[in-house]
Structure 1
Amino acid sequence: MRKLLCAVMLISVLFAACACANTAEPVIPEITDEDLYAVKMEEEQWPVIDGAPMFLRFYTAAAARMLETSEEEASRYVLSSSTDFAYRDLIYGRADIIFSFLPDQEYAELAGREGVTLACYPVLNEAFVFFTSPDNPVDGLTIDQLRGIYTGQITNWSEVGGKNEPITAFRRSEGSSDHAGLVQFVAKEEELAPGPTEERPGTMGETADVPKDYDGSSGALGCGYLYNVSWQYGLSDLKLLAIDGIEPSASNIQNRIYPMISQVCAVIRGGEEETQAGQLAQWCAWPLGQKLAKEMGYEPNMPVDETTLSPAESAPGTEDGTDWAEGNAVPRGSGKTLHRNALEWSSELLYNDESRYVSVPV
């Protein structure tokens, strides 16, 4: 089976402190459909893969597909640490590809100091959700209301249209992806109020106060990334709340209408697009990898057309002769076929939320 020989469009995103981003003019490579083949790798070629535990099932399954083996066997070839360790491993050369959220300013600056660029291929959309008991009459909250709740300014459900009952706002421990999401989308620069805690045994026989898990009580409010929430609690006994009037439905997440979405990327070092790690990143971002994401219970970054994605099909496309490109359909033979773009993070980058995503018109 032929390897995927993809020329990558790297968009240099330059940031100025406290200013909007300026983007360099993108170079759109002209490629042919013959370039877009499914990737198969041999065991001895396999790159070192790391990533956040939330995405382990996806990249293990991708490894299994490309090695043509079972997921159990493929698990021998992947690591799962944390966002922090994964980025440091990639930057310092201990990993070849990682699966994680887009790099924040800390990792961009670390990469710059080490002379490394980070090429990010969008593969998944993860929604940060808030949930409560199905018996709670409140169906949605605004971001301002959530900020008031988690900073301690709003303490009773009656203040947001519910019953006269105290709000118990649960949150995860600092350092977790769920805690980072709460800070990113809700708290911003404000300090979070203390959440419920409980004593648990420590490693040396002592006890420690740790954040208490969501308990499903009538006044409880929980939060976290949807994939984590669905695996930890199941969704049948939860009410997912609309945020600013928008529900976290699959279509709203896919179309990026829901207001709290983080993009998950396959990240490699810039300049290594033609390595095995680069081929894996591109495969995950293209339709065969996107179909796999859907099968594994994740929300893919691009729409998945079930009629075009059988494993036997070599080139992505639809029955009407179009290719996927940045979420749009591009006519084949138009000379405008786009590869999934990689966002190149360089030493000059200063990070801000408004500049994360680059939309490339076709």
Structure 2
Amino acid sequence: MKKQRRRNIVVFILLAGLCLAVTAAGRFLWKNHKETVISYSENKNFNTKDYLPFSENSKIVRLVDKPTLRLKKNLPVLDGAAALFPVYSAVINAVYPSGTRLKEVDDKNCAFVYNNTVEGYYYLLYGETDIFFGVCPSEDQLAAFKEEGKECKLTPIGREAFIFFVNKDNPVDNLTQRQIKDIYSGKITNWKQAGGKDEKITAYQRNEDSGSQTAFLRFMKDEVVMEPPTHQVEDLMSGMIEEVAKYKNNTKSIGFSFRYYTEEMIANPQVKILSVDGIKPSKETIRDGSYPLGVSIYAATLKSNRKKNVKKLVDWMLSEQGQYIVEKTGYVGVK
């Protein structure tokens, strides 16, 4: 019995050690993930080079008046989701020293990076960045903060619409929230059940921890979401839009994203944004709260981050000039 007990103890110690090693390895990979930063997004739908600061042909919003905040040193490292890239790039252009550029793989101490939502919240967690611009983090991302004993502070800087879209040739223009939930839970499987053609529905989803997938799961709440086939999971929002758009005269697909990203940044004429509960997503319906799937966009920071310029910049985002950038980019301000 003593020998058996000793063997059990040894096995327990080995397993515990293995768990600790795996956890440590995971943390190490995130903390030393700089080498895998992809500095430019160059898919055919969205190119970060179109939204760079200090560029004559950039599509970013520029302030009319002299900025009320100028930072010259101790620059907060800014990061964000694809849909928010034009916002924080415009902030760089307004507030940071001229010439501040997007991080390349071998750059050191760069204040302007783009990791997207899937990885961006982890860079924030481990102190690689100071402010992340995006929608609410996923449950897994929030759990990671909790496990590290850190708190993610979310400061709302604007409002946006979470939207669903179909191929432009799909006769369906509106779905109720209940119908959408029934589609993604597998209760509605044919467009004929929702007023469309007699076609089987192909319902696309995003990859885990992406901003739109997180918004989707929050929308579904306690509904059991059906597991999509691998080919119906897209790792880029633009990829989902492209998949739904490419079905010429084939109206079976549905996907989801955010209004500004879909209408302005991608602007694919082959997709149609649906009304939800009879309300079309627009800046007006987001502002007055009538569109039912409004979401907040945030400047996310570590609550423990005491850098003065981080607070200054977040406060500036809520100022008249910061809200001007949010509004003119295409979102709805919070003030």
Deviations 1:82-125 (A, max 9, x none): 33533333333222222122345544454445443433221122
Change (3 A) 1:199 1:159: closer
Change (3 A) 1:218 1:40: same
Change (3 A) 1:168 1:196: farther
Deviations 1:297-341 (A, max 9, x none): 3x1332xxxxxxxxxxxxxxxxxxxxxxxx4xxxxxxxxxxxxxx
Deviations 1:182-211 (A, max 9, x none): 2221364413242572899xxxxxxxxx98
Paired residues of 1:125 and 1:253 also in contact (CA < 8 A): yes
Q: In structure 2, how many angstroms separate the alpha carbons of the residues matched to 1:189 and 1:273? A: 40
Change (3 A) 1:111 1:135: closer
Find out whether 1:51 has 2:85 as its counterpart: no
Among 189, 207, 229, the residue aligned to 2:262: 229
Change (3 A) 1:122 1:273: farther
Q: In structure 2, how many angstroms separate the alpha carbons of the residues matched to 1:301 and 1:196? A: 37
Equivalent residue, structure 2, for 1:264: 297
Equivalent residue, structure 2, for 1:241: 274
Q: In structure 2, how many angstroms separate the alpha carbons of the residues matched to 1:198 and 1:140? A: 22
Among 217, 220, 234, the residue aligned to 2:253: 220
SS of 1:247's equivalent? Answer: coil
Counterpart residue identity of residue 148, structure 1: D
Find out whether 1:300 has 2:332 as its counterpart: yes
Question: TM (normalized to structure 2)?
Answer: 0.65
Measure how far apart 1:144 and its partner are.
1.4
Find out whether 1:116 has 2:150 as its counterpart: yes
Paired residues of 1:266 and 1:281 also in contact (CA < 8 A): yes
Change (3 A) 1:150 1:66: same
Q: In structure 2, how many angstroms separate the alpha carbons of the residues matched to 1:105 and 1:179? A: 11
The equivalences for 1:319-338 within 5 A come to 327=335
Change (3 A) 1:118 1:175: closer
Higher strand share: 1
Equivalent residue, structure 1, for 2:93: 64
Paired residues of 2:212 and 2:257 also in contact (CA < 8 A): yes
Paired residues of 2:286 and 2:332 also in contact (CA < 8 A): no
Q: How many residues are aligned here?
A: 254
Find out whether 1:145 has 2:179 as its counterpart: yes
Change (3 A) 1:91 1:194: closer
Paired residues of 2:207 and 2:233 also in contact (CA < 8 A): no
Find out whether 1:197 has 2:231 as its counterpart: yes
Counterpart residue identity of residue 260, structure 1: L
Measure how far apart 1:265 and its partner are.
0.9
Find out whether 1:181 has 2:222 as its counterpart: no
Q: In structure 1, how many angstroms separate the alpha carbons of the residues matched to 2:256 and 2:311? A: 34
Paired residues of 2:163 and 2:257 also in contact (CA < 8 A): yes
Among 180, 191, 201, the residue aligned to 1:157: 191
Between the aligned residues of both structures, percent identity stands at: 28
Counterpart residue identity of residue 279, structure 2: I
Paired residues of 1:61 and 1:74 also in contact (CA < 8 A): no
Q: In structure 1, how many angstroms separate the alpha carbons of the residues matched to 2:255 and 2:302? A: 36
Change (3 A) 1:222 1:91: closer
Counterpart residue identity of residue 279, structure 1: K
Measure how far apart 1:266 and its partner are.
0.8
Q: In structure 1, how many angstroms separate the alpha carbons of the residues matched to 2:83 and 2:227? A: 26
Equivalent residue, structure 1, for 2:102: 75
Q: Which runs of 5+ in 2 are unaligned?
A: 1-66, 104-110
Measure how far apart 1:135 and its partner are.
3.3
Q: In structure 1, how many angstroms separate the alpha carbons of the residues matched to 2:102 and 2:287? A: 28
Equivalent residue, structure 2, for 1:279: 312
Deviations 1:245-298 (A, max 9, x none): 22111111223322222211112233657711111111112221111123323x
Measure how far apart 1:231 and its partner are.
5.4
Paired residues of 2:205 and 2:255 also in contact (CA < 8 A): yes
Paired residues of 1:157 and 1:164 also in contact (CA < 8 A): yes
Moved more, 113-122 or 93-102: 113-122
Q: In structure 1, how many angstroms separate the alpha carbons of the residues matched to 2:90 and 2:163? A: 25
Measure how far apart 1:179 and its partner are.
2.4
Higher helix share: 2
Q: In structure 2, how many angstroms separate the alpha carbons of the residues matched to 1:232 and 1:220? A: 21
Paired residues of 1:96 and 1:277 also in contact (CA < 8 A): yes
SS of 1:155's equivalent? Answer: coil
Q: Which runs of 5+ in 1 are unaligned?
A: 1-36, 201-209, 303-326, 328-362
